[in-house]
Amino acid sequence: MLFNDKDLKDVMLKYSFAKKVLETELSILIEEYEFNNGYNPVEHVKYRIKTMESATKKLSKKNLELTVNNLVRYVNDMVGVRIVCSFISDVYKIVNIIKTSKQFIVKNENDYIKNPKNSGYTSYHINILVPIHLFDKTEYIEAEIQIRTVAMDCWASIDHKLRYKLPSNIPEELEQEMLLRAEEMSDMDKKMDLLNDMLRKFINR
């Protein structure tokens, strides 16, 4: 069974609404944090709705029928946000802002900073339910927020480009070399976080 055109247009419209709500609410939360603390922990934010081509590949990879129900149930990052910060400590500030907000419901979270993936990938993922207020009801749409440092974002982009060019079975030697580079980026992040702490102590003397 393939996607029903009317149902697909309906759900894609709701994804669009959820993206707009996220853009507004996150902007308010970050601006309020900056006002109260005199500091903005965010370098930049990127919002997107996953392409149908990408969503279809994800469903096909899981051997699932191309239905709207499966799209909603199994593709949990149709609405995505990437928040990039300068330092690791800033990542956790943003995580706390999101988790304590009354605007969203946290569905699940994965701390790939403290527990990196086998590939060396590091980031903090939170899946939330975003309320969209329609004419006659309120619905909750799932969205995935990825929060990472500039260094993490840089490596994730490079890693993706490298793996895109490689066959599915990456040679172990190359896999180990990429993991070493990821660990070096992670070590640099930790050193920059220590430097940031030193600077703040110096400024607050």
Q: Give tens-digit pLDDT for 9-22.
A: 999 999 999 999 99
Chain mean position to CA 157: 13
Give mean pLDDT, residues 78-106.
94
pLDDT at position 180 is 78
**For residue 180, what are the CA distances in angstroms to 118, 155, 157, 170, 171?**
11, 12, 16, 15, 14
**Residue 205, pLDDT score:** 62
Return the half-sphere exposure (C-beta side, CA atoms, 13 A cut-off) of residue 158: 14
Contact 49, 19 (CB under 8 A): yes
For the segment 181-194, what is each residue's pLDDT rounded down to a tens digit?
A: 777 777 777 777 77
Asked: is 5-155 a CATH 3.30.460.10 domain? The reply is yes
CA distance 51 to 30: 27
Question: Among 86, 119, 43, which residue's Cα sits nearest to residue 189?
Answer: 86
Q: Taking the domains of the chain in order of start, what are their residue ranges? A: 5-155
Q: How far apart are CA 171 and CA 154, in angstroms?
A: 23
pLDDT class of 82 with cuts at 50, 70, 90: very high
pTM: 0.85
Helical residues (DSSP H) of the chain, grouped into ranges: 5-37, 52-61, 68-74, 88-100, 150-165, 172-203
Distances (CA, A) of 5 to 55, 68, 193: 15, 9, 49
Instruction: Find how far residue 43's CA is from the centre of its chain.
Output: 14
Kindly report the length of the chain: 205
Contact (Cβ atoms closer than 8 angstroms) between residue 179 and residue 119: yes
Strand, coil or helix: 111: strand
pLDDT tens for residues 116-136? 887 788 999 999 999 999 988
Strand partners of residue 106: 128
